[in-house]
Amino acid sequence: MFDPLIGGPAGAGWPLGRSVYGSELLALLDAVAGVDFVEGLDIVTDDPARRILDGQDLVGVRLRPHELVDYEPKAGTVELWGQTGGSWQMIGS
């Protein structure tokens, strides 16, 4: 889903800087064979400027225009990476 070449809503690549929403993660998990339901999903970011809220609920994480998502389904984590000072660094999870 988050692949920069074949992911994204249209299957043409996840765009640089496109925000990530919990509803999209739930849809991704729902498509996994053998998954009947998801008991809980936590989206976490330490940066208040990146938080996308629905009332008081964190529903997504805002990315900067040059950032991509690194998704590791087997690890169960999603990490956000960005270029800082010419090198890629994890900026959130």
Only one residue has tokens 């765009």, namely: 15
Q: What is the pLDDT of residue 24?
A: 85
Q: What are the sequence ranges of the domains in the chain?
A: 20-92
Q: Given a cut of 80, is residue 92 above it in pLDDT? A: no
Mean pLDDT of 1-6: 83
Q: Given a cut of 90, is residue 54 above it in pLDDT? A: yes
Helical residues (DSSP H) of 34-80, grouped into ranges? none
Does pTM surpass 0.85?
Answer: no
Q: From CA 93, how far away is CA 84, in angstroms rounded?
A: 16
Query: pLDDT over 90 for what percent of the chain?
Result: 17
Inter-residue contact 4 to 68 (CB < 8 Å): yes
Q: What is the pLDDT of residue 72?
A: 63
Mean pLDDT of 22-48: 78
